[in-house]
Structure 1
Amino acid sequence: MCETASYASKPEASLGRVQDTGPSPTRSPYQRDRDRIIHSTAFRRLQHKTQVFFRHDGNHFRNRLTHTLEVSQMARSMARALRLDEDLAEAVALSHDLGHTPFGHAGERALHRVMAAYGGFDHNIQAMRVVTRLENRYAEHDGLNLTWETLEGILKHNGPLVYPDGRPYGRYIEEGLPSGLFDIPAAADLRLDSHASLEAQTAAIADDIAYNAHDIDDALRAGLITLTDLRDVPLASPIVAEVLARYPDIAPKRQAHEVQRRLITRSIEDVITTTAANIADAGVITAEDVRQAGRTLVQFSPDIAAAEKGLKSFLFTRVYRHESVMVWVRHSEALVSRLFEHYMTSRDLPGRWAAMAQAAASDAALARIVADFIAGMTDPYAMDEYARLFDARPEFG
């Protein structure tokens, strides 16, 4: 790996961990973070959590784990091109979805609704709870004891949470700040009003690129759309035209893969070029300069950003809200809601969760325990729990 740029995060300058572990003779602090994340229970569970298409629809659709691995690969590639710390970018990418519930965003919406009276549910905050509290494998501490920079990246990869005066920032202006935000153990103040590192910003935009490309691929595989449907869709249309013109007679699945790979390549190259120009324009010299830049530096160019929004709008209408997807969404939301209501009434949780539920001193404390338990479920485990509690398999259409 080439020497990193001056504005990259420097492992030797890390603000460290809550629990000091001493130096490693073979790995940097960010490499150790990456390895701890990969070996965590929460990471393994991602293989059985829905991305968009439920696991019952087939074995070749993305799940949370395969999505995460694709995001990680893209983040690392862009970090290398920009001379950032690849290991930190990879660690943030690998951990960015650890707080997601079973059944994808449907499960998250259901949990947010039933938790409304207790502070709501936010998957970024939940990821922080996972890596700082809920993982319970280590002899000397709860959580994964990650570095400050990785925690900052998990929490702020999409930007600051507040303005310097403490007012909510971005989407939190309407939603309000999530519950638990000010109760996150870290080696130093996570500085909610500053931008995160370039490595974290790279992981965030890799998430967008991965979503766009693999959701098109999965939607084509599911038969919800065809390549012809993409002829007039922003960002995708010129690529589809190129592929169909050059390869008119190959199998549709090969055409689809060619569209996907070109979409990824074009998006990544645009981000690298635009970000390099942004870095030069902002005059940032150090990682601290990046945090104080006052804007996100890792971006698409204006034209690609506008086209990307158009593509997302198409996917929302034609894929995410397609009835064949929505029937699973409605059933999974009902399942999560009913599980929550049962646990709140009965405190009938299995294993170590039972003792915590019985000891909860308030409804709010109990609700957070129940939310932690449900959020950690995989799709099949949630369905098994439903069957155990209600003596019936959940109906999914």
Structure 2
Amino acid sequence: MRLPDGLAPWAVRASSSRGRLHAEPGGGARSPFQRDRDRVIHSTAFRRLQYKTQVFVYHEGDHFRTRLTHSLEVAQIARSIARELALEEDLAEALALAHDLGHPPFGHGGEDALDAMMKPHGGFDHNAQSLKAVTLLETRYAGFDGLNLTWETLEGLAKHNGPLRRPAPYIAEYDRLHPLELSTHASAEAQVAALADDIAYNNHDLDDGVRAGLFTLEEATALPLVGEAHEAARRANPDLPRDRATGEVVRRVINAMVNDTVAEARRRIAALGPRSADDIRAHDRPVVAFSDAMMEANNELRAFLFQRMYRHWRVNRTTQKCKRALQMMFSLLHGEPRQLPPWWQARAGEAGSTAAARAVCDYLAGMTDRFALEEHRRMTDPTIPG
């Protein structure tokens, strides 16, 4: 069902946005969610995603995905699903582009390293760090810290994976200032962005894993979902060149996942009968999800990638080296914050304090892979000028 504006009754609408924490003049021809998207794209944190890894560190090859290319792929998938479901595409796209802004260098290894170092100070969570980036750490505007995004975008960033019963410290702190209704689900648009993230992540890791030689496409076809896509590609192209087979398979797997998501979302929405976006938020489970069969297939793919890619000895070796570099820098800077650039020194305060730990963590989390490796060399090699 679509209303005269082309959206479903349960879609979020820019005209009824709950606004921004800091009031601003209207954006002219751009809707509030288009302005959110544009602010994300122009942010420093977004540009840094170009040199933040997914699985491979930036110097390991120019053709592997980075956080930037991943975010663009998530945005494309999110817009496609939102369009099929008559949802607010600009909000879904803004959330897709912003969802990884809080990721530290070196992928999940970097996140694990910072979480271990921050345990005495509340831990580290990349979703909370994404919210922190857009509400505090970006310093582009004269009137406020952060990007001053709409309530709907901030809500989606905070809880796109579902209600937060035990929110990370920064999310809880921000929620006291600007309540985001953490106990409910997020909008359907945020749910779309979250599932688009899963679709993009697993499929581009399948592509990158084959490209890197960590496993072969033939090994992956043991998975029913991949095997069926491979068979379909062969039927459509009997003389399919080997160097194009992976691309043909991946696009078919993505298409199958997107079609399944749209069909399952329509089924759940029909059963719920929502009349507004708040009905989606109040429901006891997401309305945008895989079917049971596709969820099982996706879990099989994820388990395969975990064993054959994320735990591959080559990946592990690089991950451990990068984790040690981050942990060493954290220890050095936390113990002596005067090594930080002036702006960060002012935030850090006393050596060894929780304030210093948080400032050092924010400083390190914002680094690209390239800058982190260079900074580690500057901090540990006496022959390199500081």
TM-score, normalization by structure 1: 0.92
1:244 Cα offset (Å): 3.4
Q: Equivalences for 1:100-249 in 2 at 5 Å?
A: 100-162=103-165, 168=166, 177-184=167-174, 188-249=178-239
Distance 2:102 2:168 in 1: 14
Among residues 252, 259, 274, which one is paired with 2:249 in the alignment? 259
Which residue of structure 2 aligns with residue 39 of structure 1? 42
Check conservation: 2:264, 2:291, Cα contact below 8 A: yes
What is the alpha-carbon distance in structure 2 between the residues aligned to residue 392 and residue 321 of structure 1? 34
| 1:312 partnered with 2:279 | no
Over 3 Å counting, the alpha-carbon distance change for 1:308 and 1:366 in structure 2 is same
8 Å contact kept, 1:160–1:196: yes
> Does residue 349 of the first structure (1) align with residue 340 of the second (2)?
yes
Residue 172 of structure 2 aligns to a residue in which SS? Answer: coil
Aligned-partner Cα distance in 2 for 1:28–1:151 = 16
Conserved in 2, the CA contact under 8 Å of 1:16 and 1:187? no
Aligned to 1:30: 33
Q: Distance in 2 between matches of 1:304 and 1:262?
A: 14
**Residue ranges of structure 2 left out of the alignment (5+ in a row):** none
Equivalent runs, 1:268-287 vs 2, <5 Å? 268-287=258-277
* 1:55, distance to aligned residue in structure 2 (A): 1.6
For 1:1-80, list aligned pairs within 5 A: 3-80=6-83
- Aligned-residue sequence identity (percent) comes to 48
Counterparts of 1:73 and 1:92 in 2: how far apart (Å)? 12
Residue type matched to 1:344 in 2? H
**5+ unaligned residues in a row in structure 1: which ranges?**
163-167, 169-176
2:234 touches 2:240 (CA, 8 Å); kept in 1?
no
Q: How many residues get paired?
A: 380
- The structural deviation recorded for 1:236 is 1.2
Please tell me whether the aligned partners of residues 212 and 311 of structure 1 are also in contact (alpha carbons under 8 angstroms): yes
Partner Cα separation in structure 2 for residue 362 and residue 62 of structure 1: 36
Distance in 1 separating the partners of 2:376 and 2:238:
49
CA-atom RMSD in angstroms? 1.8
Matched, 1:87 2:78: no
Taking the aligned partners of 1:213 and 1:281, their CA distance within structure 2 comes to 30
Deviation per CA, 1:163-221: give whole Å up to 9, x if none.
xxxxx4xxxxxxxx422232116884211110000000000000000011101110111
CA distance in 2, matches of 1:11, 1:268: 25
* Residues 284-321 of structure 1: CA deviation (Å, up to 9, x unaligned): 11001000111111011111111110110001000111
